[in-house]
Amino acid sequence: MSALPEKEKNMNKQMNTGLVKKLGAGFLFFTVTLSIACAEELEPSATPYRPTITNPADLSAPGWLELEAGLQRIEGGSDKQRDSVPLLFKLAFSEDWGILVGGETGVRRTDLSNEVFSGNGDTTFLIKHRISAATEGTAWGVEAGYKAPTAPDTIGSGKSDAIVSAIYSTDIGRHHLDLNLSATQLGAYADGEGSIQYGWAAGVSHVLNDRFGAFAELSGVSRSAVATQAQMMAGASYNLSKRVVLDAGASWGLNKASQEWTVFAGVTTLLGRLW
């Protein structure tokens, strides 16, 4: 008769041990899940500039190295065809100051006489300053720097350029508007041509839902004694996560001096925190 209570004790002990293990595992799972959720909630979001010509006034997350990379093909214009991989590294020191370093790699251009050239492109270095506005969702920005002639003469101009841009950004409901005006002091220009190239761009983006967005843009460049160029761009973006944003789209030239069309796809991602 004494064996039965002992057996029941063992069974109860096993049941209690199993229950404790299950509760422990459940608590561990809950803790890990909550930690991941909190980490994702606290994690900053990527701040895409690509693929539009317009840049927003906002900088990327301070202390985080952000990379933009893509693939693009341009048909028409000064070349018959041009393929390249545009890259841009962004690092903000604060919400109001940061640097941008960008360029092209894997350039393959076919000129109008069907001769093919390949190599890497020039490199641009910019300092960016964001200026807060009294209106929420609105900011001004300034970018200044230069383009270093790191490309061979068959790919780039072979000369340095000085660049300055003014930016205005504002939210209008679920729409976001960016306006850019720029002036570039060219190092390479022909006799009789203007040495300063002026650029303008107006881009509008719209949030469709938590994942998808759409954008459209008009832009152009002009300088003295050179035909003005203008283009229209449209595309879509997809937030793979807070840290990764994908994009794809196309642009079309609006006059004979512009390229015929461009197709592109790329990604913006936060690589990691530096401090």
Residue 43: predicted pLDDT: 83
Within a 13 Å sphere around the CA of 197, how many CA atoms are in the beta-carbon half? 16
Residue 7: predicted pLDDT: 53
Say if residues 139 and 166 touch (Cβ distance below 8 Å). Answer: no
Residues listed for the chain: 275
83-122 pLDDT per residue, tens: 999 999 999 999 999 999 999 999 999 999 999 999 999 9
Residues contacting 24, CB < 8 A, separation 6+: none
5-57 pLDDT per residue, tens: 565 555 555 545 555 555 455 545 444 444 444 445 568 999 999 999 999 99
**Domain 43-273 fold:** Porin (2.40.160)
Query: 21-59: buried (b, 16+ CB within 10 Å) or exposed (e) per residue?
Result: eeeeeeeeeeeeeeeeeeeeeeeeebbbbbbbbbbbbbb
133-150 pLDDT per residue, tens: 999 999 999 999 999 999
Residue 18 CB: number of other CB atoms within 10 A?
A: 10
Question: Global pTM?
Answer: 0.84
Average pLDDT along the chain:
90
* 206 beta partners: 175, 214
Residue 6: predicted pLDDT: 61
